[in-house]
Amino acid sequence: MFYRSGKSSIERVVFHKMSPNETLYLESTSKISKNDVISFIDFQIWDFPGQIDFFDSSFDLEIILERCGSLVFVIDAQDDYLDALNRIVDTVVIASKFNIKLSYEVFIHKVDGLSDDLKIEIQRDIHQRITEELMHENLEDIHMSFYLTSIYDHSIYEAFSKVIQKLIPQLPTLENLLNILCSNSNIEKAFLFDVMSKIYIATDSSPVDIQTYELCSDMIDVVIDISCIYGPKQEKEENGSNENPSYGTDTYSVIHLANSMVLYLREVNEHLALVCFLREENFEKPGLLDYNFACFKKSN
């Protein structure tokens, strides 16, 4: 939502598979753009350029915000962000009058070049300043989530995963089903991924370990890359494109890691894949896991 903060780069990397290095050549967004995402849930991403006055009378904020589920603010962590924080507070004050159900997310972006201590310091400073300003506006009940993000690692995917999960009404049910699957199959961790974006729309209730998440996320790329080379060719859709030409019905893959762990991937539907992380000794009866997965798939 701010000038040269990296909004367009995030959208291109997460939802259009652009390489992070290619985003260096993107021009600044000069007009409002809309991106339709078709997946387990269909949603739209509206990119507002930083130079546009969101409060101009030419904008009908009621129409814009009444169907909005989340407002995501992107801040350049390597730039002077004080003006950006003021605009965030002003936006929240106005938006809260039109839609009380909005969730507010702050991506503290471009942190890949910063030390860990500086990242924490910047996040704490931004959190404190915004919280104090919201209290001054008598909006202490507004809850905002803060994420340290970069397009050069998995942090942007994890942040977007948390944002999207808040928009899924079936999330508690999905989490419960994954908990049952993990318990019955001795799975350490399970993720339900949107294959196109690698956003996980649900996971079991155990804590998310970033290294485990990265392994499970990377497995999707491995499966798609190998399928592109060795898998059967598929005809393109009528519009001439195919989002996941190598990912189809009954996609299945197992990878045995050097540390005696196993990665297990199964297709759920054309948009979703289940990726599990389990110990090798718990994979001695893969038929049991296959059966439990079939029950999980049928329940969705």
By CB atoms closer than 10 A (0-12, 13-18, 19+), residue 108 is buried
Q: For residues 2 and 91, what is the distance between their CA atoms, to the nearest angstrom? A: 12
What is the CA angle 39-45-50, rounded to 5? 160
> pLDDT at position 246, please?
54
Give the long-range contacts of residues 122-125, CB within 8 A, separation 24 or more. 122/77, 123/148
> pLDDT at position 237, please?
46
- Pick from 51, 55, 126, 124: nearest CA to 85: 126
Residues of the chain with pLDDT under 70: 1-4, 30, 50-51, 53-55, 231-249
- Pick from 81, 75, 53, 215: nearest CA to 146: 75
Phi/psi class of residue 198: alpha, beta or left (left: φ > 0; alpha: ψ in -120 to 50)? Answer: left
For the chain, give every domain's residue range. 7-165, 171-299
pLDDT tens per residue, range 234-257: 554 444 444 555 555 678 999 999
> pLDDT at position 4, please?
63
Q: For residues 293 and 177, what is the distance between their CA atoms, to the nearest angstrom? A: 10
Q: Determine the topology of domain 7-165 in CATH.
A: Rossmann fold (3.40.50)
What does the DSSP 8-state code read for residue 22? Answer: G
3-state secondary structure at position 229: helix
What is the CA angle 120-126-128, rounded to 5? 100
- Pick from 5, 103, 102: nearest CA to 50: 5
57: Cα separation from own chain's centroid: 32
Q: For residues 214 and 155, what is the distance between their CA atoms, to the nearest angstrom? A: 9
By CB atoms closer than 10 A (0-12, 13-18, 19+), residue 162 is middle
Which residues lie closer than 8 Å to 168 by C-beta, 6 or more apart?
40, 41, 174, 201, 202
- Pick from 2, 4, 7: nearest CA to 159: 7
CA atoms within 13 A on the CB side of 149: 31
> pLDDT at position 232, please?
65
What does the DSSP 8-state code read for residue 31? Answer: S
pTM summary value: 0.87
Q: Determine the topology of domain 171-299 in CATH.
A: Beta-Lactamase (3.30.450)
> pLDDT at position 26, please?
81
Tell me the backbone φ, ψ of residue 22, rounded to 5 degrees. Answer: -70, -25
> pLDDT at position 243, please?
52
What is the CA angle 26-10-98, rounded to 5? 115
